[in-house]
Chain A
Amino acid sequence: MRDSLSVGIAVGAYGLSFGALSTITGLSVLQTQTLSALMFTGASQFALIGVLGAGGGAASAVVTSVLLGVRNTLYGLRVTRSLDVSGPKRLLAAQFTIDETTAMALSHETVDDPRAFRLGFWTTGLAVYLCWNCFTFIGAISISSLGDPRKLGLDAAIPAGFLALLWPRLKRRSAWALAVVSAAFALALTPALRPGLPVLAAAVVAVLAATHGIDLAPPEPSSPTTAQSSGTEVLRTEVLGNAPTGSTDVERTQ
């Protein structure tokens, strides 16, 4: 419970930056708040405002944002069986399926009892949702009166925000290589393509790397069970910054 709250507060500070930067890039307070309340996945929200703010078209902003949400699908696959919910509660579970909740739930997973897993998921989801939205609102309303964003260096704050989102994912050498190649590719295409498209083109680099078998999960024997748990191994260390705890129990039959 205390862990969930501290994750929520940490995320809140980042919601503050989102709220501020979103209104600076020209979104209204209502549009900003809509993103935090209904989209509720930080990297995608930042990508949408980043691409729009840099003069990219609406379509490339939307596609970039949605592509950054693909990982949530995999988190959903991983958590849905242990949560075991249906109806409206399943919609809420889907909405709460993000980095922080998945990592917290998995770190509480035990072989014989799904209660700690569920508690970790729901308390973290609720704490993060409330903090994220409150701080988005505070950030959005407090910044609009500050004046020229360039004078305040806020155009440097946006790439710094993306960098902070990227940083925890750069643990392995292959991740660094991919990041450098993707960045160089996007810059090389910049003079030739409309704003927004070079970033989307970088997604092709990721897919090519994936087809060539580049993998960020630690090598493990390839039985279906371990293959599934290895995908979330990176996430655990990324978000919570600690070693994997407990055993993964994907064969549960409840």
Chain B
Amino acid sequence: MTWIAVLAATAGCFALKLLGHSVPESILDRPFVRRSADLLPISLLSALVAVQTFVLSQQLGLDARVAGVCAAVIALLLRAPFFVVVLVAAATAASLRALGWAS
């Protein structure tokens, strides 16, 4: 099942890339298409952040992940690079769990 997902998504993403190199500009270069393409990543990524931070087995809740993501926000405000942001989040959540302060 995982392989099917991997290959289907790969094919879909490549097809979208190739589409841009294949169709005449006039077909896709419309304000609505451009706006959607700009806005989709914002909606999807923010929904992913929210769900992966606050949801555990289909219920909303707070655990060490919330603190990890807050630490990531601070790292981003300090202009830390991607890898550092991810590392800071993991280290924060791991420390809170090790100390027994969060689940």
Contact = CB atoms under 8 A, between A and B. Distances in A.
A43 B41 contact: yes
Closest 8 CB pairs between A and B? A76-B20, A156-B68, A153-B93, A160-B89, A153-B94, A202-B47, A156-B93, A183-B50
Contact of B39 (A62, A73, A178): A178
A26 B81 CA distance: 26
A86 B80 CA distance: 40
Contacts of B5: 48, 52, 58, 61-62
Interface in B38-66: 38-55, 57-60, 64-65
B13 A72 contact: yes
A38 B46 CA distance: 25
B14 A163 contact: no
A190 B42 contact: no
A209 B39 contact: yes
Name the residue in A164, A202, A211 with the highest tally of chain B Cβ atoms < 10 Å from its Cβ.
Answer: A164
Q: Is the interface of A mostly helix, strand, loop or mixed?
A: helix
B21 A70 contact: no
Contact of A26 (B2, B49, B86): B2
B70 to A, nearest CB: 10
Interface residues of B, number: 77
A64 interface: yes
Chain A residues touching B, range: 35 or more
A126 interface: no
A133 interface: no
Name the residue in A72, A155, A215 with the highest tally of chain B Cβ atoms < 10 Å from its Cβ.
Answer: A155
A113 B98 CA distance: 59
Contacts of A123: none
B52 A70 contact: no
Contacts, number: 314
Interface in B1-38: 1-10, 12-14, 16-21, 23, 25, 28-29, 31-38
A10 B82 CA distance: 8
Interface in A142-189: 150-167, 169-170, 175, 178-180, 182-187
A91 B13 contact: no
B82 A163 contact: no
B86 A164 contact: yes
A182 B18 CA distance: 29
A72 B17 contact: yes
Nearest to A75: B20
A34 B5 CA distance: 12
A157 B47 contact: no
Given A68-B44, A76-B18, A178-B42, A54 B69 contact: no
Nearest to A58: B5
A154 B97 CA distance: 12
B99 to A, nearest CB: 12
A191 B57 CA distance: 9
B101 interface: no
Interface stretch (A93-101, A104-112, A114-122): A93-101
